[in-house]
Every structure is written in structure tokens, then in C-alpha cells.
Amino acid sequence: MTMTPTTPVPPSTQATSAASTTPVFSVEGLWKVFGPKSERVPLDPELAALPAAELRSRTGCTAAVRDVSFDVRKGEVFVVMGLSGSGKSTLVRCLTRLIEPTAGAIAVDGEDVRAMDRTRLRELRRHRAAMVFQHFGLLPHRTVLDNVAYGLEIQGVGKAERRERARAVVAKVGLEGMEHRRPGQLSGGQRQRVGLARALAVDPEVLLFDEPFSALDPLIRRDMQEEVIRLHREEGRTMVFITHDLSEALKLGDRIALMRDGRVVQLGTPEEIVGSPADDYVREFVRDVPREQVLTVRTAMRAATASEAGHGPAVAPDATVSEAIEAVARAGTPARVMDRGRCLGVVDPAALLGVVAGTAPGAATGAEPRKEAV
């Protein structure tokens, strides 16, 4: 596009469009096979195609990650979800080579991770991609502040500066006043906040969360989920989040990679996964999700007649069906889907109910999944 001097592109737009084209992580044809002579499995089409049990009995190998490709975009929360044993942890550990991949390519900001030497890898793990673990990994004899400052200490940051930075992130995760406690004097949720603060202290480009909240009780877990959403909203940091919990994935994820037996069976937004499951497995997985809380009004929208376009309550295009139901119920008329003053269409009670019932077009269970660039 040719730009005339009179129509400059605002700097914020330039930054966003450039950023959105550079993936933080780019994964292509990734395999991780555990067991003897594991390298031969991805190379041999016959072995590569075997179901898990048969592969194990024929070769003694387990293919934890099988031919997986995806990009993690800058600023998104990318969730890796699947049942226990589906390969989530192995996949995410391969990103920084905490587990060595068997085959495939991984790039971070365009740099080949598999070609990195030890120094570069250490730099990747310490500065660029910090991990938050389920079991906190806190040092029991150190205070909250010193635990948080630990990552900075490893980096060689001076004492005064690391204490100052640690103090700031401790406040950010809501632990002000607890700086001098030891981990044993904290609740599970507070310990997880320390783990989060420690990862944040090194100001990484991307945070990798390995089921960080699965040991927490439901109320504290919800608090922590909200904390992550808040931090993400405030900082826009890229996050990769492993969970086996579908509602957590739907709540946190901009996009979700759903894994089964080492493969990504669907990659898409929560709305795509719930509205257009790729196969019977995904359909079964999302069967009990309250669709109206995930699907947006776009699913139920139709063209407005001339009279409808002029009045009625307004909802945004990314409003959920549930929000539109409330607006329609209050007004007693269809709601208009408005985008910057323009009426895109309307949603009426029949269409909204159709989404809830799972009979609306586009929400149909057999619908084709929308194609995602993976």
C-alpha cells in the first residue's frame, strides 16, 4: 500500500501489525518419542502411524508428541489442553528444550531453538521464557522477597536492584506485607503467587505455566485465574498455559490447542472449539459447556430489516449470546449488533435460544471447523 505524507499510520497501529506477524514461538512438525532408538519413529511412516499401544509393544517407545505444528502469537494466551498423558507437559518443555525434541523445528522470535548452544539456551530459559510450575519450586528457608529475587540473583543482578524489583512484583501479585514470610507460612494460593512473582521478576517475553493452579482449591483457583487475566490485560505479556481443565482453558485462552495422544486435534479460539468441534472427540469434550457463555452473537446474527436497524438495544460483536439474551429480555425486542456505529445485524429470541439448544446454524454440532492457521 502506498502511503501519502498526509495519511500517516499511527505508531500504535504499526507496532501492532508488525508484532502480530512475528510469532513468539513457531513449532513445525515437532515429535518427542521416549524409548530406545526413538529417532527412527518420526522417520518411518509405518511406525509414525501406529496407535500408542502398538507402537509401544513393537518398539518399546512412547510418542508423547506427534507431528505438532503451531505458532504462539505475540501477546496471546495460548492454552495447551488435554487429558492426563496427552502430551501437554512434554510439548511445552520441548519449547525451551527442558526436554530434547526428537524431530521437528522450533523457533523463538525466528531463532532456531534446536541450534542453540548451552549458553544461549540458558539465556532463553532465564530471560525470555520463564516457567511457573504446579509445585511452586520455592526455597523453604528464604523469605518471599528472596524467593522472588532468586531468578534475578541467578542473572547476576545486584542485591539492591533485585530487592527493589522483587518488591514491585510482590506488590503486583497482591502479596504486599508478606515479603518477610517463609513459604511454610503461606497458603497454597499465596505460594502460587510467589511462584508467579518469581517468574515475572525476570521480565520474560513469555510466561510458560505448567498446570499452575491444579493443586489449589476451587475458590483460590478462581482468584488465581482472575489474577492471570488481570496481569495479561495490564501487561499484554505472551503466555502459554497448560491445563487439563476445559473451563480454565475457555476462560483464559485466546486460542486453545486441544491434544489427544500426542497430537493437536483442534487449534482454535474457545468459540471455534465449542461452536465447531473438529471431530467426535472434541464434540464429546465440549458437550457440557454452556454454549451461550462462550459463543458470541455473531453465531446467531441475521441481517436487520430497515426498521430493526434503527432501534433496539445494542450489543458489541464480541458480546456473548448470554449477554445478548439479557439485553433482549430487558428490551423485549431483538438486539442490534453494533460495530463502531454500524449495525452488522440483529439477534432475536429464536436465534439466541437456538444457540442454547445447540440447533442454531453455525452452532450445529456437525458444522465444519473454521480453518485456523496452525
Ligand X SMILES: Nc1ncnc2c1ncn2[C@@H]1O[C@H](COP(=O)(O)OP(=O)(O)OP(=O)(O)O)[C@@H](O)[C@H]1O
Residues touching ligand X: how many (CB under 6 A)?
Answer: 12
Give the one residue of 42, 82, 212, 275 binding ligand X; rule: CB under 6 A: 82
Please choose, out of 81-89, 166-174, 268-276, 293-301, the segment that lies near ligand X by the rule CB under 6 A.
81-89
Please choose, out of 84-92, 111-119, 163-171, 322-330, the segment that lies near ligand X by the rule CB under 6 A.
84-92
Q: Which residue number, 100 or 112, has a Cβ lying nearer to ligand X?
A: 100
How many Cβ atoms are within 10 Å of 18's Cβ, its own excluded? 10
Q: Which residue number, 86 or 190, has a Cβ lying nearer to ligand X?
A: 86
Smallest distance from the beta carbon of 51 to ligand X, in angstroms? Answer: 13
Q: Give dist(CA 177, CA 184) in Å, integer.
A: 16
How many angstroms from the chain centroid is the CA of residue 318? 19
25: which strand partners? 72, 108
Q: Give dist(CA 32, CA 90) in Å, integer.
A: 8
Give the one residue of 85, 174, 317, 362 binding ligand X; rule: CB under 6 A: 85
Which amino acid, residue 130? A
Give the one residue of 26, 59, 62, 238 binding ligand X; rule: CB under 6 A: 62
The answer to whether residue 277 forms part of the interface with ligand X (CB under 6 A) is no
The answer to whether residue 101 forms part of the interface with ligand X (CB under 6 A) is no
- Count of alpha carbons within 13 angstroms of residue 8, beta-carbon side: 3
The answer to whether residue 56 forms part of the interface with ligand X (CB under 6 A) is no
The answer to whether residue 281 forms part of the interface with ligand X (CB under 6 A) is no
247: nearest Cα among 222, 272, 266, 228 = 222
Please choose, out of 1-9, 88-96, 219-227, 357-365, the segment that lies near ligand X by the rule CB under 6 A.
88-96
Phi, psi dihedral angles at 315 (to 5 degrees):
-130, 155
Q: Which residue number, 92 or 186, has a Cβ lying nearer to ligand X?
A: 92
Q: Which residue number, 31 or 150, has a Cβ lying nearer to ligand X?
A: 31
DSSP assignment of 211-243, as one string? STTTTS-HHHHHHHHHHHHHHHHHH--EEEEEE
The answer to whether residue 345 forms part of the interface with ligand X (CB under 6 A) is no
Give the one residue of 66, 73, 74, 88 binding ligand X; rule: CB under 6 A: 88
The answer to whether residue 96 forms part of the interface with ligand X (CB under 6 A) is no
Q: Give dist(CA 24, CA 37) in Å, integer.
A: 31
Q: Give dist(CA 316, CA 321) in Å, integer.
A: 11
Smallest distance from the beta carbon of 82 to ligand X, in angstroms? Answer: 5
For β-strands 103-108 and 111-112, DSSP reports them as antiparallel
Please choose, out of 37-45, 82-90, 189-197, 279-287, the segment that lies near ligand X by the rule CB under 6 A.
82-90
Smallest distance from the beta carbon of 91 to ligand X, in angstroms? Answer: 7
Which region, left, alpha or beta, applies to residue 343 given φ > 0 means left and ψ of -120 to 50 means alpha? beta
DSSP 302: B
DSSP assignment of 259-281, as one string? EETTEEEEEE-HHHHHHS-SSHH
Smallest distance from the beta carbon of 281 to ligand X, in angstroms? Answer: 15
Q: Which residue number, 91 or 207, has a Cβ lying nearer to ligand X?
A: 91
Total number of residues shown for the chain:
374
The answer to whether residue 38 forms part of the interface with ligand X (CB under 6 A) is no
Q: Give dist(CA 135, CA 129) in Å, integer.
A: 18
Smallest distance from the beta carbon of 269 to ligand X, in angstroms? Answer: 21
The answer to whether residue 59 forms part of the interface with ligand X (CB under 6 A) is no
The answer to whether residue 21 forms part of the interface with ligand X (CB under 6 A) is no
Q: Give dist(CA 179, CA 227) in Å, integer.
A: 19
For β-strands 62-73 and 335-339, DSSP reports them as unpaired
Give the one residue of 26, 59, 86, 190 binding ligand X; rule: CB under 6 A: 86
Give the one residue of 55, 64, 124, 252 binding ligand X; rule: CB under 6 A: 64
The answer to whether residue 84 forms part of the interface with ligand X (CB under 6 A) is yes
62 with 85: CB under 8 angstroms? no
Give the one residue of 97, 127, 244, 283 binding ligand X; rule: CB under 6 A: 244
C-alpha pair distances (Å), 250 with each of 163, 222, 230, 259, 274: 36, 13, 16, 15, 9
The answer to whether residue 260 forms part of the interface with ligand X (CB under 6 A) is no
Question: Residues interacting with ligand X, by CB under 6 A?
Answer: 34, 62, 64, 82, 84-90, 244
